[in-house]
Amino acid sequence: MLKFQNDYNRIAGIISYIDRHFHDDLTLEQLADMAHMNPNYFSSYFKRVITLPLFAYIRKKRLDNACLLLRTTRMSITDIATAAGFSNISYFNKAFKEAFKLSPSQYRE
């Protein structure tokens, strides 16, 4: 358990940063630099510790936020996609449907 705790502690600041900035354009290089790691090493390290690939984790955060906005606002789907950090509405719709087996509009209903 101590090894895992040390591994988690090593990237806890990055996870916190992602959780606060998931809607921004995040890059592997930027996050690896913040962790003082090589990008390839950081990517594999993150996956080993979090059990999700880096960009799957970011996508999950974005989709969770989109769900919240769909439930609590009347914002348009496009505005929600943008607010959640998706720069492409088609990708947002595809990712949403993959994750929830519903379109964003169906989810809102």
Q: What is this structure's pTM?
A: 0.89
pLDDT at 26 over 70: yes
Residue 8's pLDDT band (cuts 50, 70, 90): confident
- With beta carbons less than 8 A apart as the criterion, state whether 22 and 58 touch: yes
Res 2: pLDDT: 47
Q: 88-97 burial string, b = 16+ CB within 10 Å, else e? A: eeeebbebbe
Q: 37-59 burial string, b = 16+ CB within 10 Å, else e? A: bebeebbebbeebbeeebeebbb
- With beta carbons less than 8 A apart as the criterion, state whether 96 and 107 touch: yes
Res 109: pLDDT: 87
pLDDT at 92 over 60: yes
Residue 4's pLDDT band (cuts 50, 70, 90): low
